[in-house]
Amino acid sequence: MKINTFPRQGTRDLSPKEVNLRNYVMNTILQTYQKAGFLQIETPAMESMDFLASGQGGENEKLIFKILHRGEKLNLQKPDLQEHDVVDCGLRFDLTVPLTRFYANKKSELPNPFKVIQFGSVWRAERPQKGRFRQFVQCDIDIFGMESILAETELVLATSQALLNLGFRNFKVRINSRLLLENLAAECNFPSQSYGKVFILLDKLDKIGLDGVEKELLAENFAPDSVNKLIGIIKNLTAQKITVSEIKNALPNAPREVLEDLDFLLQTVQNQADNLFEICYDLSLVRGMGYYTGTIFEVEMADYGSSVGGGGRYDKMVGKMLKEDVPACGFSIGFERIIQILEEKNFQIPDQAPKIAFIYDGQKQTFSQILPEVKKLRAEGKMVLLDIRQKNLGKQLNRLAEQGCTDFCNYFLDKPLEIKALTKS
Amino acid sequence: MKINTFPRQGTRDLSPKEVNLRNYVMNTILQTYQKAGFLQIETPAMESMDFLASGQGGENEKLIFKILHRGEKLNLQKPDLQEHDVVDCGLRFDLTVPLTRFYANKKSELPNPFKVIQFGSVWRAERPQKGRFRQFVQCDIDIFGMESILAETELVLATSQALLNLGFRNFKVRINSRLLLENLAAECNFPSQSYGKVFILLDKLDKIGLDGVEKELLAENFAPDSVNKLIGIIKNLTAQKITVSEIKNALPNAPREVLEDLDFLLQTVQNQADNLFEICYDLSLVRGMGYYTGTIFEVEMADYGSSVGGGGRYDKMVGKMLKEDVPACGFSIGFERIIQILEEKNFQIPDQAPKIAFIYDGQKQTFSQILPEVKKLRAEGKMVLLDIRQKNLGKQLNRLAEQGCTDFCNYFLDKPLEIKALTKS
- Which CATH number goes with the domain that contains B124? 3.30.930.10
Q: CB contact, 8 Å: B276 with chain A? A: no
Secondary structure of residue B148 in the 3-state scheme: coil
> Do A270 and A235 sit in the same domain of this protein?
yes
* pLDDT value at residue B166: 97
Return d(Cα B55, Cα B62) in angstroms, integer.
10
Name the A residues in 181-200 with CB < 8 Å from any B CB: none
Asked whether the predicted pLDDT for residue A425 surpasses 70, the reply is no
Distance of CA A335 to the CA centre of its chain: 4
Secondary structure of residue B342 in the 3-state scheme: helix
Share of chain A above pLDDT 90, in %: 77
Provide the CATH number for the domain around residue B361: 3.40.50.800
As to burial, measured by CB atoms within 10 angstroms (0-12 exposed, 13-18 middle, 19+ buried), residue A280 is: middle
Of B168, B203, B373, B346, which Cα lies nearest the Cα of B273? B168
Strand A135-144 to A114-123 pairing = antiparallel
Beta-carbon count within 10 A of B324 CB: 7
What's the gap in Å between the CA of A196 and the closest CA on chain B? Answer: 26
Query: Which amino acid does the sequence have at A56?
Result: Q
Beta-carbon count within 10 A of B194 CB: 13
Task: List B76's β-bridge partners, or say none.
Answer: none
Asked whether the predicted pLDDT for residue A280 surpasses 90, the reply is yes
Please give the residue of chain A at the shortest CA–CA distance from B76: A81
* pLDDT value at residue A414: 59
Please tell me which of the candidates B18, B76, B367 has its beta carbon nearest to residue A83: B76
Q: Which of B284, B313, B344 is the last residue of a domain?
A: B344
Asked whether the predicted pLDDT for residue B283 surpasses 70, the reply is yes
As to burial, measured by CB atoms within 10 angstroms (0-12 exposed, 13-18 middle, 19+ buried), residue A188 is: buried
Averaged over B198-203, what is the pLDDT? 92
What's the gap in Å between the CA of B308 and the closest CA on chain A? Answer: 23
Return d(Cα A231, Cα A63) in angstroms, integer.
34
Residue B11 lies in a domain: no
Quick: pLDDT tens for A203-235: 989 889 999 999 999 999 999 999 999 999 998
Asked whether the predicted pLDDT for residue A413 surpasses 70, the reply is no
The structural domain count of chain B equals: 2
In the structure, what pLDDT confidence band is assigned to residue A72 with cuts at 50, 70 and 90? confident
Quick: pLDDT tens for A354-402: 999 999 999 999 999 999 999 999 999 999 999 999 999 999 999 999 8
Asked whether the predicted pLDDT for residue B112 surpasses 80, the reply is yes
State whether the Cα torsion B365-B371-B374-B378 is positive or negative.
positive
Please tell me which of the candidates B42, B68, B135 has its beta carbon nearest to residue A14: B42
Q: Which of A344, A377, A408 is the last residue of a domain?
A: A344
Mark yes or no for CB contact A7/B47 under 8 Å: yes
Name every chain A residue with its beta carbon within 8 A of the beta carbon of B157.
371
* pLDDT value at residue A15: 96
Cis (ω within 30 of 0) for the bond into B372? no
Beta-carbon count within 10 A of B365 CB: 10
In the structure, what pLDDT confidence band is assigned to residue A58 with cuts at 50, 70 and 90? confident
Name every chain B residue with its beta carbon within 8 A of the beta carbon of A74.
83
* More confident: A53 or B257: B257
Tell me if A102 sits within 8 A of A143, measured CB to CB.
Answer: no
Q: CB contact, 8 Å: A153 with chain B? A: yes
Mark yes or no for CB contact A47/B8 under 8 Å: yes
Share of chain A above pLDDT 70, in %: 98
Residue A242 lies in a domain: yes
In the structure, what pLDDT confidence band is assigned to residue B3 with cuts at 50, 70 and 90? confident
Predicted ipTM of the assembly: 0.94
> Do B323 and B365 sit in the same domain of this protein?
no
Of B244, B261, B156, B146, which Cα lies nearest the Cα of A364? B261
Q: Mean pLDDT score of chain B, rounded to an integer?
A: 92
> Do B297 and B160 sit in the same domain of this protein?
yes
Beta-carbon count within 10 A of A190 CB: 22
As to burial, measured by CB atoms within 10 angstroms (0-12 exposed, 13-18 middle, 19+ buried), residue A201 is: buried
Name the A residues in 5-64 with CB < 8 Å from any B CB: 5-8, 11-16, 18-20, 23, 34-37, 39-48, 50-51, 54
Per the rule left: phi > 0, alpha: psi between -120 and 50, beta: everything else, A256 is alpha
Mark yes or no for CB contact B4/A48 under 8 Å: yes
Query: Which amino acid does the sequence have at A124?
Result: R
Mark yes or no for CB contact B3/A125 under 8 Å: no
Interface test with A, best of B67, B152, B370, B408 (most A CBs within 10 A): B67
* More confident: B78 or B163: B163
Of A411, A409, A406, which Cα lies nearest the Cα of A424? A406
Q: What angle do CA B116, B118, B121 make, to 5 degrees?
A: 165
Return d(Cα A35, Cα B76) in angstroms, integer.
52
Name the B residues in 208-267 with CB < 8 Å from any A CB: 264
* pLDDT value at residue B240: 67
Q: Which of B311, B344, B377 is the last residue of a domain?
A: B344
The whole domain housing B63 covers 16-344
Mark yes or no for CB contact B371/A68 under 8 Å: no
State whether the Cα torsion A381-A385-A389-A392 is positive or negative.
negative
Q: CB contact, 8 Å: B383 with chain A? A: yes
* pLDDT value at residue B425: 62
Asked whether the predicted pLDDT for residue B239 surpasses 80, the reply is no
What's the gap in Å between the CA of A96 and the closest CA on chain B? Answer: 14
The answer for residues whose C-beta is within 8 angstroms of residue A396's C-beta and 6 or more apart is: A359, A387, A389, A390
Strand A46-48 to A87-91 pairing = antiparallel
Quick: pLDDT tens for B209-235: 999 999 999 999 999 999 999 999 998
Quick: pLDDT tens for A76-129: 888 888 888 899 899 999 999 999 999 999 999 999 999 999 999 999 998 878
Cis (ω within 30 of 0) for the bond into A191? no
Interface test with A, best of B39, B376, B380, B406 (most A CBs within 10 A): B39
Secondary structure of residue A178 in the 3-state scheme: helix
> Do A299 and A387 sit in the same domain of this protein?
no
Residue A262 lies in a domain: yes
SS3 content of chain A, % helix, strand, coil (to 5): 45, 20, 35
Task: List A337's β-bridge partners, or say none.
Answer: none
* More confident: A62 or B44: B44
* pLDDT value at residue B424: 66
> Do A340 and A367 sit in the same domain of this protein?
no
Interface test with B, best of A14, A27, A30, A67 (most B CBs within 10 A): A67
> Do B34 and B166 sit in the same domain of this protein?
yes
Residue A299 lies in a domain: yes
* pLDDT value at residue B101: 94
Order of strands, edge to edge, in the sheet holding B66-68? A46-48, A87-91, A66-68, B66-68, B87-91, B46-48
Mark yes or no for CB contact A35/B109 under 8 Å: no
Residue A10 lies in a domain: no
What's the gap in Å between the CA of B6 and the closest CA on chain A? Answer: 6
Averaged over B351-375, what is the pLDDT? 93
- The DSSP secondary structure of A84-134, one letter per residue, reads HHHEEEEE-S-SHHHHHHHHHHHGGGS-SSEEEEEEEEEE--PPPBTTB-S
> Do B218 and B101 sit in the same domain of this protein?
yes
What's the gap in Å between the CA of A182 and the closest CA on chain B? Answer: 25
Residue B86 lies in a domain: yes
Name the B residues in 290-349 with CB < 8 Å from any A CB: 320-321
Quick: pLDDT tens for B158-199: 999 999 999 999 999 999 999 999 999 999 999 999 998 999
* pLDDT value at residue B323: 82
Q: How many residues does chain B have?
A: 425
* pLDDT value at residue A304: 79
Quick: pLDDT tens for A136-181: 999 999 999 999 999 999 999 999 999 999 999 999 999 999 999 9
* pLDDT value at residue A45: 98
Report the first-to-last Cα separation within chain B, whole angstroms.
42
Residue A361 lies in a domain: yes
Asked whether the predicted pLDDT for residue B413 surpasses 80, the reply is no
Averaged over B120-134, what is the pLDDT? 89
The answer for residues whose C-beta is within 8 angstroms of residue B111's C-beta and 6 or more apart is: A399, A403, B39
> Do A287 and A306 sit in the same domain of this protein?
yes
Q: CB contact, 8 Å: A391 with chain B? A: no
> Which element (helix H / strand E) includes B167?
none
Beta-carbon count within 10 A of B223 CB: 14
> Do A384 and A338 sit in the same domain of this protein?
no
- Picking from A51-65, A291-305, B107-121, which range would have the lowest pLDDT averaged per residue? A51-65
* pLDDT value at residue A241: 81
Residue A268 lies in a domain: yes
> Do A95 and A119 sit in the same domain of this protein?
yes
* pLDDT value at residue B304: 79
> Do B218 and B299 sit in the same domain of this protein?
yes
Mark yes or no for CB contact B13/A42 under 8 Å: yes
Return d(Cα A169, Cα A298) in angstroms, integer.
15
Return d(Cα A150, Cα A261) in angstroms, integer.
9
Q: Mean pLDDT score of chain A, rounded to an integer?
A: 92
Asked whether the predicted pLDDT for residue B238 surpasses 90, the reply is no
Interface test with B, best of A35, A75, A107 (most B CBs within 10 A): A35
Task: List A115's β-bridge partners, or say none.
Answer: A143
> Do B112 and B170 sit in the same domain of this protein?
yes
- The DSSP secondary structure of B384-403, one letter per residue, reads EEEEE--S-HHHHHHHHHHT
Tell me if B83 sits within 8 A of B89, measured CB to CB.
Answer: no
* pLDDT value at residue A66: 95
**Which ranges constitute the DSSP H helices of A121-223?**
149-165, 178-187, 195-202, 205-219
